[in-house]
Structure formats: structure tokens, C-alpha cells
A and B are shown apart, each in its own frame.
Chain A
Amino acid sequence: MLRLDDAVIANGAFRLQADLEIPAQSKVAVIGPSGAGKSTLIEAIAGFLPVETGHLLWNGREITNDHPSTRPVAMLFQDGNLFQHLTLAQNVALGLHPDLRLSPDDQKKVDAALDRVGLAGFERRKPADLSGGQRSRAALARVLVQRRGMLLLDEPFAALGPALRAEMLDLVSELVSETSATLLMVSHDPQDARRITNLAVLVAEGRAAKPVDTEQLLNNPPPVLRKYLG
């Protein structure tokens, strides 16, 4: 369980307040108008932005000031999720050992992860040789070997077409369920949110609200969200 306890997140001059709990193994959409602070919330959880006051707790353990690498978090960004000069196998292996020194056992894990996301046989390819969908799959394979309790998505599939994006979201949903992880996903598209999340956090007017049922929020949106959804 992730808890933001009276937290105020600083992003330049902007401040976002959050006092909420994300239940373990839930799938949560982060919804709200552009520029309201959806990414700010995610980045603070990942440790890229400072929590000015308040606390951030994971299963009761304080992680407010932890280094990004020691947090129970794997994150996919909008782009730049792979190192262009490394092969797919190496990119995935980074999730196990950042120095790329792998035991035979680790090697098996890497192969299994690539196999799981449908990229068996692509071990020696480099990101430049792949399609957008394949690159997303490779990044997901790394998330898989990272075995973190939480997966944060900051619209990593925004550049993909609708069908491919749906395919990726389904894969994410499956992987999160298989690994008993918690998913937090920034989304611009209500369809995406409906597709794989059960809860939704509304970020608007400088606040991140407590999570509520995704369907309910989207079916009966408060005025600020209605205006955004159109």
C-alpha cells in the first residue's frame, strides 16, 4: 500500500497537495486537465521531485527521501526508455544488474522476460531496428525483471496508434497482475482508463483527490473533469 500523508510536492513554483492511499495490487488511473499536475504526482512517487512537507510511505515504511533506485518503483517515461547503443537483452539486463554482469540464471530471466512480452529472438537487436510497439514491449520486459512493487506509467504509449495502444495496455495489465504489483498510470484518454484500471485519482486545482471507482468517476464527472472530457 502506498500512502501520501499530507504531502506537498514542489515542481518549480507549482505545488501539488496529496493526502491519499493507493491500495496494494490496485490499478489506478491518474486523470485530470492538462497541466494540473498528473506527471508531478507520479514523478514525486518515483523520487524525481521533492516532497516538501508530509510523508510518502510504502507498506508503512517511510520512503519520502529515498534515492530513486531504492524505491519500490519502476517507471516508464513518455520516451527515452531504452538506451539506443545497447541491445535489447542488455537493456533488459539493466533491470537486474546495472553493471550488466549477469549470472547464467540472470541470463535466463532476461530471455524469459523478452519471451513473455513476445520478443523472443530479438535479444541482439538494438532499439533503432524496432517498431514503436516493439520498443514498448522491450521496456516492459525490463520492468518485468525489475520486480518492483509499483509500476508508474507516464503515457509511454501516447505515440502508438489506438489498436497498438490497447494491446500494450492489456499486456501491462496482465504483467501487473502476474507480478502482484500496483499500477499507477497517467492517462489522457478515458477509454484507456476504463480499459485496465479499477480506481482513479483526479488531479485538479492543485490537489490529488483520494482514489474512487474509475467507472463512477468517468460516468459522473465533477464539473472540472467534465469540462476537460468535453
Chain B
Amino acid sequence: MADRAQPLSARAGIWAAAGVAALIFGAFAAVIWRAEAGRGLGPSDWAALRFTVVQAALSALLSVGFAIPVARALARRRFPGRRALIAVMGAPFILPVIVAVLGLIEVFGRSGWVSQALGFLGVPPLQIYGFHGVILAHVFFNLPLATRLILQGWQEVPAERFRLAAQLGVDRWAMTRLIEIPMLRKVVPGALAVIFAICLTSFAVALILGGGPRATTIELAIYQAFRFDFDLGRAALLAGIQIVLTTGAAVVALRLGQGDSFGGGLDRAVRRWDATSRLARQIDTLWILLGTVFLLLPLLAITLSGLPGLADLPSSVWQAAATSLLVATLSTVLVLLLTLPMAVAIAFGRDRLVEVSGFLGLAASPLVIGTGLFVLIRPVADPMALVIPVTAGVNALTVLPFALRILVPRVKDIVEGQSRLALTLGITGQNFVRLVLLPRMRAQLGFTAGLATALSIGDLGVITLFADPDIATLPLQIYRLMGAYRMEAAAGASLLLLILSFGTFWLLDRGGRGHAET
């Protein structure tokens, strides 16, 4: 097929995509080359593999299982604050893992709110560390995601369906069978697969709440082989297993998943006539309350416990915050420089680029890439000296698939709508970017930059492999404070981290929308 004339070349995007692919495949290759496969898997490796799969499966099932009634309640009720609640359900995506986990510990931990309440009843306190703590944290992060995905399924049911059902006077069970089950059958497999894939690469949650032979994920095992034993061969072997696992899960997730929870219009309430009975209303209210409380309680806990410590934070925390901002800025610039040309190339019909890069983003776990980069860098330079660019780069890679999903549809619109006019006026190349593309993409660029910055500020992943004791990002510093049992300082620093990640997201997203055209 001969290409149509276009105001921009796809070449830059193809180079960007090739660079990303080369980096990821290079890291994979280094891992496989260095892996000591001959040694085989020890019992603790098998345990890590089993735990990784079991916890991911259970987390996915529980998240989706609870999301079904919550999404149903949200879909058929209208109440003040509904819009805000649905917006808040997007928040865990940029919520730093370590902040959420600290919040969960303060609510569900041994001396947490729930344990104290149980203490009054003479019930022994809860134990959050271990298997169920990891699951709890994963459900906390993924229940809102699952709810948004299923809510999107409800949203896509044509309004005529509800009208038809109302006219036929179908009862609750018929409603379930006629509308809800067919909808769930389309949405649930994708939601399960995505959450399973996300939980497979869980590192920070397992680092803080897990550990030990019964609650170590492969990601955590890679870190331990690295940090504790400095056994690069074993780390690479584990990374190889992780590649097989995540690649398989990513194939399934991409095949099944169609929705993305970034889609707008989730707050639109479709008029419904079913489920008007008091019981149905009470059940829905209960689910909405439970979902809201579960989501907001840990955030409230971290805010309350962080406030006293916020006033006199140790200087190491401020230093770490500055490092985090530097890493996040580098990472965000890198994300935009890579994804904008890639989005243009995709909009010009290089569709396969999306699939490849989206796929690599899902399949590449940060610690695997980190291990690979470590292996590659060590012969030429001191990996510890490159901690900041490596962390920024790996953070950028993890944001890449999300950034593309935000940018590509908009670039497609612009190219379809305006490229012929631009061509007749001779607006091409840099002029097209400056006069047409960028001004019309402010909102999407702002949102992307906000996501990239917030995710990078809150990331506790590859930095743990590369950091020497003198350097830390804010999440790593919080982890070290926790390890030293300086809980008040850790809580204060967590509140600072929460403010930084949500604050930068808000600023960038808003900055983009400031002059947004509709």
C-alpha cells in the first residue's frame, strides 16, 4: 500500500520505538546470557514462583469479585458525590505503593485501628505481615481499577436495553441474566487478566508486607539475590523465569482486555428503572459505603499520622525528595520525547508499534530490566554511579504503554481532521508540530506528564537495586526509616510523598487543561 502524503514523517517515532525495543530486548538478552540455568531451581525459587502465581490469581479474583457489586451499585444509583467517588477510584493508580501500604498498616496492622477496635471486644489483633497482607494491599490497589473497568462495561450497555427491560418489567434475576451477565462475560476476563499481570510484577508490596519463604514474589527474590547474596547468576535466572511468566500473562491480558480505565464519561448516570425495592437500595448503599471506606480509610490514616511528623522532617528526607523530583523530571521528559513521535507514527498507520510497545510495557518488569541493565553496565562503568539516569529510564519505560494509550487517539483525531488542510497550506514538519499538533494536545500532554511524574516520584522498584547508602529517592528513604523503626518520621515523609505525587499530577494535568480546546 502506498502511503498517503502526510504533514509529518513517521521516522522519528519508528526510531523511538526501535530504541525502546532495543533497550528492553538488550536487558532480556543480558539476563538470559548471565542466568546460570545449569544450577536449576532451588526449593526457595519454586516457593517464590508458586507464591507469585497464587497471590496474583487470588488478588485478581478478589478484586474483581468485590468490584462486581460495587460497580453494579454505582451504575444504578445516583447520589451526591458519585462523580467525585468515581474520580477518586482513579487515584490508586498514581498513589505511591509505600504510602498506601503504610496507611493499610495503620488501619489493619497489629496496633492499627481495626485491631484496637477488636481489642475492646477481647479479640486478638490482626496480623498484616505475610500472605494475606500482600493480598489485602493488592485488592486495595486493584479493586478500584476493576470497578472502573466493570463500570465501563455498564456504561457501554445501550440505554435502549434498560428501557426495554423496564418496559418488559423484568425482575432482578432476569435483569442479571439479560444484561449483567452478558456484559460481565465481556469485561471480566480482561479485568482478571490485567490485574493478574499487574500483581505478578508486584515488588514494593511484597518487600514491605511479604518476605520469608511463604510470601516472596519473584521480583522480591531477584532483589534478595542481588542485595543480600550478590548472586548475579541466580538473580538473572529468576529474572528469566519472570520474563516467561509476565510475557505469557501480557499476551493473555492484551488479547482479552479491551477497555481502559482512562476512558471518560464514567460519571454519566444512565436513567434506570430497576432495583427500586428497599432491600436493593440498602444493599447498594452498603456496597458503596464499604468500597468508599476501604479506599479512603488508609489515606485518612496516613494523613492523620503524618501531620505531626511533617513539621520536623530529617534533612535526609528533604534530600531524598529533591532526588525524587530530579528523577521524575528526567523520566517525564523522556516519556514525552519517546511517546509523542511514537504516537505520530502510530497515527500514520504504523499500528503494530502500539502493540509491540504496549506489550513490552506490560511484559517488562522493572526489576528484570534493572537486572539486565546492571549486567550490561557493570563491565563498562560503576552501576551505582548511574542510579539516577537508570531509575529515570526504567520509570519512563513503565509509563510508556499508558502514555501511548492517552496520546494516540488524540493524535489520530488531529491527523484525520487537519492533515489535509495543513498539507494544502504547506504546514509540514516542525511547523505542523508547533502550530497544529502541540497546541491541540495540551490536555493530553498535561495528563501524560502528570501521570509520568507522579508514578516516578512514588516508584519504589529498580532504585533498590542500584542505590548505595548515600543516595535515596523519597520512597526508598521512607523504607529505610521504617527499617530503622522511625515510624513517625516515616509517616511524615509518606504524607510529604503523597502531597508531592498528587500535587505534581494535579499541577501538570491542570496546566494542560488551562487552555484546552474542546
Q: Taking beta carbons and an 8 Å cutoff, which residues of A are in contact with B?
A: 46-48, 67-71, 73-75, 77-81, 83-86, 94-95, 98-100, 146
Contacts and interface: CB of A to CB of B under 8 A. Distances in A.
Given A80-B158, A83-B178, A68 B171 contact: no
15 contacts: A48-B163, A67-B273, A68-B167, A68-B273, A69-B166, A74-B167, A75-B167, A78-B160, A79-B158, A80-B160, A80-B164, A83-B182, A94-B178, A98-B171, A98-B174
Given A85-B182, A98-B169, A68 B163 contact: yes
Contacts of B164: 77, 80-81
Interface in B356-387: none
Contacts of B228: none
B168 interface: yes
A86 to B, nearest CB: 8
Given A48-B163, A67-B273, A94 B182 contact: no
Interface string B138-170: 000000000000000000001111011111111
Given A94-B178, A98-B178, 6 more contacts: A69-B170, A75-B167, A77-B164, A85-B182, A86-B178, A146-B168
Given A68-B273, A99-B173, A94 B160 contact: no
A99 B273 contact: no
Contact of A68 (B158, B166, B182): B166
Contacts of A100: 174, 177
B165 to A, nearest CB: 8
Nearest to A46: B167
Interface of B: 158-161, 163-171, 173-174, 177-178, 182, 271, 273
Contacts of B169: 67-70, 98
A64 B163 CA distance: 17
Contact of A98 (B159, B163, B168, B271): B168
B170 A80 contact: no
A98 B166 contact: no
B280 to A, nearest CB: 14
Contacts of B160: 77-81
A69 B271 contact: no
Given A98-B174, A99-B174, A80 B167 contact: no
Of all A-B residue pairs in the complex, the 5 with the closest CB atoms, nearest first, are A69-B169, A80-B160, A98-B170, A68-B166, A98-B174
Contacts of A73: 167
A39 B157 CA distance: 20
Nearest to A139: B164
A75 B171 CA distance: 19
B174 A47 contact: no
A146 to B, nearest CB: 8
Q: Which of A47, A74, A98 has the most CB of B within 10 A?
A: A98
Contacts of B273: 47, 67-69
Contacts of A78: 160
A79 B164 CA distance: 11
Contacts of A80: 158-161, 164
Contact of A67 (B158, B166, B173, B177): B166
Contacts of A98: 165, 168-171, 174, 178
A46 B165 CA distance: 12
B178 to A, nearest CB: 6
A146 B168 CA distance: 8
Nearest to A152: B167
Contacts of B170: 69, 94, 98-99
Contact of B271 (A48, A70, A146): A48
B167 A69 contact: yes
Contacts of B163: 46, 48, 68, 75, 77
Contact of A94 (B158, B166, B168): B168
A67 B164 CA distance: 12
Nearest to B160: A80
A83 B161 contact: yes
A13 B159 CA distance: 20
B367 to A, nearest CB: 43
A78 B164 CA distance: 12
Residue picked from A67, A68, A78, A84, most chain B C-beta under 10 Å = A68
Contacts of A95: 168
A110 to B, nearest CB: 14
A72 to B, nearest CB: 11
A48 B166 CA distance: 9
Residue in A71, A78, A80 with the greatest tally of chain B CB atoms within 10 Å: A80
Contacts of B158: 79-80
A70 B182 CA distance: 26
A173 to B, nearest CB: 22
B168 A69 contact: yes
Contacts of B159: 80
A145 to B, nearest CB: 11
B272 to A, nearest CB: 11
A85 B165 CA distance: 15
A47 B271 CA distance: 11
A95 B170 CA distance: 10
Contacts of A70: 169
B201 to A, nearest CB: 35
Contacts of B174: 98-100
Nearest to A101: B174
Contacts of A146: 168
A67 B158 CA distance: 20
Nearest to B179: A83
Contacts of A86: 178
A99 B171 contact: yes
Contacts of A84: 182
A93 to B, nearest CB: 10
A210 B173 CA distance: 42
A68 B274 CA distance: 10
A80 B164 CA distance: 9
Nearest to B167: A68
Contacts of B171: 98-99
Contacts of A74: 167
Contacts of A68: 163, 166-167, 169, 273
A83 B160 CA distance: 10
Nearest to A86: B178
B176 to A, nearest CB: 11
A48 B171 CA distance: 18
A47 B182 CA distance: 26
B174 to A, nearest CB: 4
A76 B163 CA distance: 10
B444 to A, nearest CB: 29
A35 B460 CA distance: 56
Contacts of B177: 100
